[in-house]
Amino acid sequence: MSDVDVVLVASRIRAEERALLEALRGRGVRHHVLDPRELIIEPTQSPIVDGVALIREISLTSARYTARALEATGSVTVNNSSVIEMCGDKALTALAFARHGVATPRTLVTLSEPAAVQACDEIGYPAVIKPVVGSWGRLVARVPDQETATNLLEHRSQLPGPQHRVTCVQDWVDKPGRDIRVLIVGDQPVAAMYRRSEHWRTNAALGAEPAPCRLTPDLAKLATDAARAVGSGVLGVDVVEDNDGRLMALEVNHGTEFRALQSVTDVDLADAIVEHVLGLVE
Amino acid sequence: MSTVACPDCAASVPVPGEALVSEILVCRECDSELEVVGVDPPLLARAPEVEEDWGE
């Protein structure tokens, strides 16, 4: 029996959270689930939870505030709020990649519709337009020409909320029908998979098929560097290859889903995560 | 295995014995996503809609 209590923070129990709970049980770790929807945060110095918090909350907003609140009262969080904020915003991720020299497709960040159109012209067509917040490939668009870019960005400008004025415009990478997901735990790459799809968006959530992928030294280094750039933790790094085989990091996911990766690797991913979490406080 | 009426279409939805609070089940009749909000006894509610900031 471990002396550490682990609090799994989640409002939705997916296959990943169930696997993590089973891994905690398997190691005899005291644990419970904290649903952020039930949390009433009173700023105080009393610990909100007793133990290390594994943040698996599906909502970026709830994950950020919960992690911040727990940290303010002395709790260890994985991932911590800074990492969550950095990964949850593609503009901040792009800035972190640049600061740490991580290879990534050319990315321009704009704060208005006209600037975004100008950025598309600057990048050249086809260009990829991404909202700074969002996941599972939602609202990510490849625009083939200026007319399409102008139309799409005009639509984006009508969406409620100032966040929609912030846009990432990125070089489109002509990839070989797949990208790569690497799971980083702590500072270590643990496993990787290809995600194959007929569609240029190769998100597992959009139906991409997982396939085993060898963690070559180059892939491991790039993924580790990308994870370190945002602060390290339990992270899913998305990597794309161009047709010349050059590897580039696309983004880092703080609430990484790993059921697809688990289906193509013998590594017990949930147990590796739990081992890392326990190692932070033991 | 228990069954609970779907809050949307009233069809019987099987709730596995190992179901956990906050897990999502799908009604086979109407395809509604349902959240397990209680396990003893099993209770289901309409699952929250996916929000813009949800994801990985």
pTM greater than the 0.90 cutoff:
yes
Residue of B22, B52, B53 lying closest to A33 (CB–CB): B22
Give the CATH number of domain A178-281.
Answer: 3.30.470.20
Q: Which residues of A touch B54 (CB under 8 A)?
A: 58-60, 135
Phi then psi for A222, rounded to 5 degrees? -60, -45
Q: Do A12 and B56 touch (CB under 8 A)?
A: no
Instruction: Dig out the tokens for A132 from the structure.
Output: 């700074």
Whether residue A196 has pLDDT greater than 60: yes
What pLDDT score does A110 carry? 98
Around Cβ A66, how many Cβ atoms within 10 Å?
28
Same fold for the pair A5-80 and A106-171:
no
Range B2-46 has CATH code 2.40.50.140 = no
Residues 10-39 of chain B whose Cβ lies under 8 A from any Cβ of chain A: 20-24, 35
Please state the domain extents for chain B.
2-46
Name the residue ranges covered by the structural domains of chain A. Answer: 5-80, 106-171, 178-281
What pLDDT does residue A77 have? 97
Q: Rounded to a whole number, what is the distance in Å from the CA of B11 to chain A's nearest CA?
A: 23
Residue contact B23–A13, C-beta within 8 A: yes
Calculate how close chain A gets to B9, using CA atoms only, in Å. 23
**Confidence label for A125 from pLDDT (cuts 50, 70 and 90):** very high
Check residue A46 and give its pLDDT. 80
User: DSSP code of A49?
Assistant: S
The DSSP annotation for A70-101 comes to HHHTT--EES-HHHHHHHT-HHHHHHHHHHTT
Q: Tell whether A11 is within 8 A of chain B (Cβ).
A: yes
- Band (B30; pLDDT cuts 50, 70, 90): very high
Which residues neighbour A135 within 8 Å (Cβ) at sequence distance 6 or greater? A205, A253, B54, B55, B56
> Which of B20, B21, B54 is nearest residue A58 as measured by Cβ atoms?
B54
Q: Which of A1-10, A123-132, A205-214 has the lowest mean pLDDT?
A: A1-10
Which numeric CATH code is attached to A5-80?
3.40.50.20
pLDDT digits 0-9 by tens, A11-45: 999 999 999 999 999 999 999 999 999 999 888 87
A106-171 has CATH 3.20.20.140 classification? no
A136 to chain B, any CB pair closer than 8 A? The answer is yes
- Residue A58: its chain B contacts at CB < 8 A? 54-55
Residue B52, C-beta contacts closer than 8 angstroms, at least 6 positions apart: A133, A134, A138
Q: A89-123 as b/e, with b when 16 or more CB fall inside 10 Å?
A: bbbbbbebbeeeebebbebbbbeebebbbebbeeb
Q: Which of A11, A21, A59 sits opposite B53 (nearest CB)?
A: A59
Whether residue A206 lies within 8 A of chain B, CB to CB, comes out as: no
Q: How many CA atoms lie less than 13 Å away from A131 in the CB half-sphere?
A: 21
Q: How far is it, in rounded angstroms, from Cα A133 to Cα A252?
A: 12
* Closest by Cα among A224, A217, A213, A222 to A265: A213
Tell me what the mean pLDDT of segment B30-39 comes to.
97
Q: How far is A258 from chain B (nearest CA, A)?
A: 10
ipTM: 0.91
Residue A184 β-bridge partners: A189, A235
- Which of B21, B23, B56 minimises the CB distance to A236? B56
Q: Compare CB distances from A59 to B20, B21, B51 and report the shortest one's residue.
A: B51
